[in-house]
Amino acid sequence: MSGAPSAAPGSAATICLADDEQMLRNVTAAVLRRHGYDVVTAPDTAGVQASVEQGRVDLVVADIHMPGNAQLELLEWEPVRSSSLPVILMTGRPSVASAVQALRLSAIDYLTKPFEPNELVARVQRGLALAAQRRAVRVDAERAQQVERLLADLRRTLLEAGPPPPPAVPGKAGCGWKLPPREYASLTPREREIITQLVASGAVHDVAGRLGISRHTVRNHLQAIYKKLQVNSQLELLRKVMAGSAA
């Protein structure tokens, strides 16, 4: 993100600025607005919570000694504690103990008053970038869990349908999957082994452990398999090979 006084990327991230000193609150809010941020203000912890609950807030900048925050109650609030709402704390009475406690309780930064406007903006930009990274990690984790659930549902459905018949190619009885001879012949022995293990467990880390290879190697083999069988994911691959076994 640029430090120039222009609209921040993403156009207007909303900052909740909380401080019981009205003059400092107004001056700091003006600095952030000049750099393209939307700003809502609050005099205390209750005001921050009300602002967050009433609308979108991307980041909170709050005084550590404002009313309602004597024991860092803001950092114990669920949206903050779960890391979904980033908080930068500022104080005119810094101490090592308060800094350590604030960071231990999920504050993403600790800003000492008085500070230069450019320093504030840089901290806000860094905080928003960190929040975006955390969101991306959560989204990836949720997608991975969704895929695992879909694979588990697919395996359960196929198990309920009963054991599959022998595979299409002689000598592969008991592998639990089936492909037309031409597609089967296009696979290397290791790729066939990968599919067999994937059908059995559905998880890349399990396949890697059983075959004594790295997860990265398993994923490389899967990419080659996807290309040969014209599928795009583990789920599509399992549907293809196990649909063949049920035919």
Query: What are the structural domains, with CATH classification, of the chain?
Result: 14-138 (3.40.50.2300), 163-246 (1.10.10.10)
The predicted pLDDT at position 186 comes to 92
Q: What is the share, in percent, of the chain residues with pLDDT greater than 90?
A: 25
The predicted pLDDT at position 91 comes to 81
Q: Is the pLDDT of residue 192 over 70?
A: yes
DSSP assigned state of 114: S
Closest to 2 in 3D by CA, of 93, 104, 121: 121
Q: Is the pLDDT of residue 107 over 80?
A: no
Q: What is the pLDDT of residues 113-156, one digit of tens each?
A: 888 999 999 999 998 988 888 777 777 777 777 777 777 777 77
Closest to 89 in 3D by CA, of 57, 56, 123, 118: 123
Predicted TM-score (pTM) of the model is 0.51
Burial pattern 28-51, b for ≥16 Cβ within 10 A else e, equals bbebbeebbbbbbbbbbbbbbbeb
- Least confident residue range of 72-81, 100-109, 127-136: 100-109
Q: Between 236 and 106, where is the model more confident?
A: 236
The predicted pLDDT at position 81 comes to 67
- Least confident residue range of 29-43, 107-121, 168-182: 168-182
Residue type for position 60: V
The predicted pLDDT at position 56 comes to 79
Burial pattern 77-92, b for ≥16 Cβ within 10 A else e, equals beebeebebbbbbbbe
